[in-house]
Structures are given as structure tokens and as C-alpha cells.
Amino acid sequence: MKGKELTRQDIIDLLKLDDFTPIYEEADRIKCQQKGKEVLIRAIIEYSSYCQMRCQYCGINGENRKAIRYRMSKDEILKAAFGAIDAGYRTIVLQGGEDPVFMTGEILEDVICEIKAKDKDVAITLSAGELSDEVLEKLKKAGANRFLLRHETADRELFARIHPGKTLEERVDRLRAIKSLGYETGSGFMVGIPGQSLESLADDLLLIKELSCDMAGMGPYIAHPDTPLAGNPTGSVELTMRCVAIARLLLPNANLPVTTAIGVLDMDKRNSGFAKGANVVMRKVTPEKYKAAYQIYPAKPVKTDIKKERNELEEIIKSMDLIPV
Ligand code: 5AD
């Protein structure tokens, strides 16, 4: 298939392969050629667990009465950001639920300006949901560089079912708006959402290609007990890694993370993801008192020691003969 555009059927056939090794090798070859040995490490600050959305899979969806809600103050966000910069991080990802208090962009605008005032070369990535054109523009002007908004699934009906009141078209429209405003744009999807098929995964991969994504995050679906989709089986890490590898074939120059959800399930696989097409990893630097409340999917609570975790991760990356950045 080398040198030819992958069709939907090609992708389905690849996903089904008994032995995927040659594709992983090809993805690694392209990654090394395009990205060298660098592994980009990002710091995530989860600034709010309030959310007006009702995503059926997500632990912080607005209808989960059991979710603990918090909203970090501007000073708390800045303290976490500066702590991450001091520890060596060059990208700060600001992520939150669709919290109306943040969706006007005022707080984020101030936060962005203050981070840039401290170090203008630190990149700021927003992962803040479906924002209006006006707010997206304001935050871009303030200095935000990148925006993450996964399309979650390219299956129109499945999208509507798991996102009550929302449509795939609106989501894709936001992604196009983000791109046209000059943000480096990241989409992505979950693997193993109940009702998803290999055909729809092929469409997910073709959609990130069609959108010319600069970044794409793919993670296995992990059931959260306090959501309408509780009790469903977890998505396959292997199938997720196959999607990452195919994404590398489709978008040779993209930044593709070994997502946190992959890491939660299998530490070793997360590491070897850097040999299968991925070149990015993210670390939570959310203060400990909030971290446990930001449960998109159930995860073991881990302490936050920004410097120590950064150092440990750098050592792991170096031990793989790669260069942490
Ligand atoms: N399992 C795995 N990933 C999830 N996300 C939300 N809920 C879950 C879950 N239960 C992902 C979505 C979202 C990102 C921030 O987290 O893809 O875009």
C-alpha cells in the first residue's frame, strides 16, 4: 500500500490484520523521519470540573450528581502553570468541562496573557469545548497557540446518541473555525465506544485527515460507573494503538500523543507507543486537591509532584533512546 492514499476499505483491512507489526514499523519509520527522536511532553491543568454537556460516557457530565465540582481560581491556575514551566514544560494545556463561567473566555484570556508575560515562548493549548467564534478569536489574540477538541466519533447517529442535543456537524464546524483562526488544531476520538464499528473507526481516521489535523488524540473508552454508559466493556488498547499508527500514515507530520487513557490501562504499552507512531505524552499538573475530582473516567488518584514526575518521565524517555522535550 506504500505510496498510495489509504481508502476506507484499506483502513478497515489494516485494522483487522492478524499481525500488525509491519504497519507499526512503517508508522515508526515515518515518525522518526518526520519527528526525529523527540518526545514532546505537555502539562495539563484541569481548571474546572463543571460541565453543561451531557456526554453519556463522561464522568464529569453535567447530569452526574455524584461528580465533585470545583473551579480553580486564576491564581491557582497560574501557580500550577508556573510550577510546570519551572519543572521544564514548554506547553501548558488548559483543559476543563464546558463550564459557563469559563466559556466567556475572560478568565482564560487573563491566564493566557499572564503565562505569556512570564515566558512568551511557552505554547498554550486550550481544551475547553465548543467555544463561540468570538471567544475563540479573543483567546487566539491573547496568545493561545493550539486547540484540542476531539470529534469523539465520526458516526453521525452514534455521536447524536452519546451527546444529547448535539450534532457531529456542529462539532466539525467548531473544528473548522478553530483551524481557520490559525490555531494548531487537534481532534481525535475514543476507541471502543459502545455501538462503534471498525467502519466508523476508519471514518474517524479519514476525518482527522480531511480536517488536516495538526494533532490527534486517540484513547480507549473506559466505562465510568456513574454515567449512562456504565458497565460497558473497555476499549482495546491494541486497537487504539493501531489507530494511532494509521493516523501516522495518514498525517505524517502530526503530533500524536500516547494518550492518558492508554497509560491508565497499561504502562508498558504506553511507553512502546513511541515506537508505533506516537511522539507526544501528557502529564497532569492539576493540584492534588482537585485532581481526584476530575474523573472523566475512573483512574487511580496519583499525587502531584510536578518536578519529580517530569524527571521520572524524562528518565523513561531517555532510557528508550529518545529525547524528552
Ligand atoms: N473513557 C475514555 N475517554 C473519555 N473521555 C471522556 N470520557 C471518557 C471515558 N469514559 C475523553 C473524550 C474527551 C477527552 C477529554 O476525554 O474523548 O474528548
pLDDT of the residue at 299: 84
**Mean pLDDT of the chain, nearest integer:** 94
| Ligand 1 touching residue 221 (CB < 6 A) | yes
Ligand 1 midpoint to CA 95 (Å): 12
Q: How many CB atoms lie within 10 A of CB 56?
A: 18
Ligand 1 midpoint to CA 223 (Å): 10
Instruction: Report pLDDT digits (tens) over 298-311.
Output: 988 778 899 999 99
Ligand 1 midpoint to CA 265 (Å): 14
Q: How far is 144 from 50, CA to CA, in rounded Å?
A: 22
Phi-psi region of 176 (alpha: psi -120 to 50; beta: other; left: phi over 0): alpha
Instruction: Report pLDDT digits (tens) over 128-168.
Output: 999 999 999 999 999 999 999 999 999 999 999 999 999 99
pLDDT of the residue at 4: 79
| Strand, coil or helix: 170 | helix
Pocket test for ligand 1, best of 213, 282, 296 (most atoms within 8 A of CB): 296
Q: Which of 317, 288, 322 is nearest to 304 (CA)?
A: 288
Q: How far is 145 from 156, CA to CA, in rounded Å?
A: 29
Ligand 1 midpoint to CA 217 (Å): 10
Would the pLDDT of 180 be above 80? yes
Note the Cα 227 to chain centre separation in Å.
20
Sign for the pseudo-dihedral over CA of 226, 228, 231, 232:
negative
pLDDT of the residue at 316: 87
Instruction: Report pLDDT digits (tens) over 181-202.
Output: 999 999 999 999 999 999 999 9
Ligand 1 midpoint to CA 186 (Å): 14
Atom of ligand 1 nearest to the CA of 149: 18
| Ligand 1 touching residue 218 (CB < 6 A) | no
pLDDT of the residue at 264: 54
Measuring from atom 7 of ligand 1, which residue has the nearest CA? 58
Q: Tell me the pTM.
A: 0.95
DSSP result, 243-296: HHHHHHHHSTT-B-EE-HHHHHH-HHHHHHGGGTT--EEEEE---HHHHTT--S
Of 281 and 267, which is predicted with more confidence? 281
